[in-house]
Amino acid sequence: KTILKDTGTTLKCLRMAHTIFDGHQLQGLLQACEQLEEIDLYACTNVGDEALAYLCKQNPKLRSINVARTLVTDQGIQWMSSEAKAL
């Protein structure tokens, strides 16, 4: 958490594939990542729609999100496609 606190304000790409954490931990992690444009959550099996919504709202500069093999549902993808304009 300290590393992201120090560098998160300039971080543009975060690859977290196969990492074990839940949506609440992801939210805490991303609070410092104001410039994030790309995130890879492939096979982060505890990440779902709520975390995706938070991610899109917290990081409006996001252009790329990989949520393959997560708990994100079709409803989450539909919400993301209508609300996250940069994606």
Per-residue pLDDT 10s for the chain (87 aa) are 456 666 667 889 999 999 998 888 888 888 878 889 999 999 999 999 999 999 988 888 899 999 999 999 999 999 888 888 778
47 in helix, strand or coil?
coil
Say if CB 56 and CB 32 are below 8 A apart.
Answer: no
Query: What pLDDT is stored for residue 4 in this prediction?
Result: 62
CA distance 38 to 22: 19
Query: What pLDDT is stored for residue 3 in this prediction?
Result: 60
CA distance 71 to 68: 9
Say if CB 43 and CB 69 are below 8 A apart.
Answer: yes
